[in-house]
């Protein structure tokens, strides 16, 4: 047997795999893993099928189909009043996670420090560690989960290479506001710190709020990469396709890693998306669509002993459960799944120190009948 030296010696099975398997084993409603149980829009599927059957099955350019990059640059201009070059500042990804990994691999060196805001999406930390760098967590506290930028700034050292932000934020469902972005700009101004902005839920934002992308802030954009996901936008998480927007001098280095990572992304989906995105209504309906789902979950849970925390974006809602149990959240969600038929995700797994903040995450990207049934079961706890 080979003597293998693991690059991720602490690697373990993700909570998503564990809870989905448990849900299947006990025939529970899975509100844990973040994927819709409804399908991709038929028009988009038809376009994919058309191009699949019409010889669009060979390599696309490394950076992505020019027509798709063009329509995305127009989308950025329309939404964020920023002019980006489709040739040099937009790259198509094999999913957002690939883009996040590529951004970290391109710019983070051994011994560097990367500040992550926890609870954090679980790919950030291992991607940093694979570069032999150090993830420096800034921990948010329940129930408001608000960033204190002065405290975060105290974590900055001469080794800080990057700050990763996520808005709207998975798992907590909060959004960064304009004043947050102004503070981030202030903290990084005059430094060599890059910003990696995970904005995969950019269209899933509620109550009339406006998504505060790094693309809205010209000075901040000069040091930033923003990553997006078509999978989250078009209910097609299994397609694994997204895109990155960054200034040309940053994108040039990003593409050097991208070309040896995946080189290019499947062609027929890119042709279909280039067509589909011509009509902005393909995504402009999403805030109302998912806000209705969020509100339906709140209605279905009314009368339960769970306490909902505000969900400002994403398709996740956090709930406190202290009126039900004082168990650790990992034990509590397993009990929920086995004995009450609804799977959730414990928020402690998104913290490096696995701290208990007494909340669980439910996904409301489900059909109305599933949401109602889950609420009915949870009210019995």
The CATH number covering residue 320 comes to 3.90.1150.10
> Where does the pLDDT of residue 210 fall: very low under 50, low under 70, confident under 90, or very high at 90 and above?
very high
372 with 300: CB under 8 angstroms?
yes
Q: Are residues 159 and 244 in the same domain?
A: yes
Q: Are residues 229 and 130 in the same domain?
A: yes
| Range name among 29-38, 99-108, 207-216 with the lowest pLDDT average | 29-38
Q: Are residues 257 and 349 in the same domain?
A: no
Total domains, the chain:
2
9 domain residue, yes or no: no
Q: Are residues 95 and 176 in the same domain?
A: yes
Q: Are residues 101 and 126 in the same domain?
A: yes
Higher pLDDT, 1 or 293: 293
Which of 231, 256, 280 is the endpoint of a domain?
A: 280
Q: Are residues 46 and 36 in the same domain?
A: no
Calculate the average pLDDT of the chain.
96
Place of tokens 């040039």: 252
Q: Are residues 106 and 195 in the same domain?
A: yes
Q: Are residues 325 and 305 in the same domain?
A: yes
6 domain residue, yes or no: no
Q: Are residues 275 and 364 in the same domain?
A: no
Q: How far is CA 182 from CA 210, 316, 329, in A?
A: 15, 26, 35
pLDDT tens readout for residues 337-368: 999 999 999 999 999 999 999 999 999 999 99
Which of 217, 250, 280 is the endpoint of a domain?
A: 280
Which of 280, 299, 329 is the endpoint of a domain?
A: 280
110 domain residue, yes or no: yes
Given 3-state DSSP classes, what are the helix, strand and coil percentages for the chain, each rounded to the nearest 5? Answer: 40, 15, 45
362 with 30: CB under 8 angstroms?
no
Q: Are residues 187 and 259 in the same domain?
A: yes
Segment (H or E) for 99: helix 96-107
> Would the pLDDT of 12 be above 80?
no
Q: Are residues 263 and 318 in the same domain?
A: no
**In the predicted model, what is the mean pLDDT of residues 146-155?**
98
3 domain residue, yes or no: no
Q: How many CA atoms lie within 13 A of 181 on its CB side?
A: 23
Q: How far is CA 146 from CA 89, 199, 219, 347, in A?
A: 31, 18, 23, 16
What distance in Å separates the CA atoms of residue 101 and residue 121, rounded to the nearest whole number?
12
Segment (H or E) for 118: strand 113-118
Instruction: Please give the biggest Cα pair distance in the chain.
Output: 59
> Quick one: tokens of 180?
């947050």
Q: Residue 32 sits in which domain range?
A: 15-40+284-378
Q: What's the CATH number where 204 sits?
A: 3.40.640.10
Q: Are residues 291 and 304 in the same domain?
A: yes
2 domain residue, yes or no: no
Q: Under 8 Å CB-to-CB from 245, ≥6 apart: which residues?
A: 72, 76, 84, 89, 90, 215, 225, 226, 228
165 with 198: CB under 8 angstroms?
yes
What distance in Å separates the CA atoms of residue 362 and residue 15, rounded to the nearest whole number?
13
10 domain residue, yes or no: no
> Where does the pLDDT of residue 3 fall: very low under 50, low under 70, confident under 90, or very high at 90 and above?
confident
CB atoms within 10 A of CB 81: 10
Q: Under 8 Å CB-to-CB from 323, ≥6 apart: which residues?
A: 305, 306, 307
Q: How far is CA 305 from CA 13, 210, 379, in A?
A: 31, 32, 7
């Amino acid at each position: 047997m080979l003597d293998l030296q693991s690059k991720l010696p602490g690697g373990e099975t993700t909570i998503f795999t564990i809870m989905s398997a448990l849900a299947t084993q006990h025939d529970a409603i899975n509100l844990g893993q973040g994927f819709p149980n409804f399908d991709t829009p038929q028009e988009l599927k038809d376009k994919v099928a058309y191009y699949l059957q019409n010889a669009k099955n060979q390599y696309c350019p490394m950076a992505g189909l020019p027509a798709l990059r063009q329509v995305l640059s127009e989308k950025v201009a329309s939404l964020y009043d920023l002019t980006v070059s489709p040739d040099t500042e937009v790259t198509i990804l094999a999913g957002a996670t690939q883009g996040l990994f590529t951004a970290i691999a391109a710019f983070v060196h051994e011994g560097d420090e990367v500040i992550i805001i926890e609870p954090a999406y679980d790919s950030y930390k291992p991607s940093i560690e694979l570069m032999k760098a150090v993830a420096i967590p800034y921990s948010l506290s329940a129930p408001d989960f608000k960033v204190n930028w002065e405290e975060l700034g105290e974590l900055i050292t001469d080794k800080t290479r990057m700050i990763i932000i996520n808005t709207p934020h998975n798992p907590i469902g909060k959004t960064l506001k304009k004043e947050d972005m102004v503070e981030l700009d202030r903290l990084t101004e005059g430094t060599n710190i890059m910003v990696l902005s995970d904005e995969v839920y950019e269209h899933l934002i509620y109550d009339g709020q406006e998504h505060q992308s790094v693309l809205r802030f010209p000075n901040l954009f000069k040091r930033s990469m923003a990553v997006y996901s078509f999978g989250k936008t078009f209910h097609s998480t299994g397609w694994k396709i997204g895109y990155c927007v960054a200034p040309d001098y940053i994108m040039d280095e990003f593409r050097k890693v991208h070309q040896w990572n995946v080189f290019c992304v499947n062609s027929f989906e890119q042709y279909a998306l280039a067509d589909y995105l011509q009509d902005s209504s393909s995504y402009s309906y999403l805030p109302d669509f998912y806000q209705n789902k969020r509100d339906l979950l709140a209605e279905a849970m009314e009368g339960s002993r769970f306490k909902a925390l505000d969900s400002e974006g994403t398709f996740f809602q956090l709930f406190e459960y202290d009126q039900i149990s004082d168990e650790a959240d990992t034990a509590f969600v397993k009990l929920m799944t086995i004995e009450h038929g609804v799977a959730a995700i414990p928020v402690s797994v998104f913290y490096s120190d696995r701290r208990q903040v007494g909340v669980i995450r439910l996904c409301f990207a489900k059909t109305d009948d599933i949401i109602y049934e889950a609420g009915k079961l949870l009210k019995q706890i």
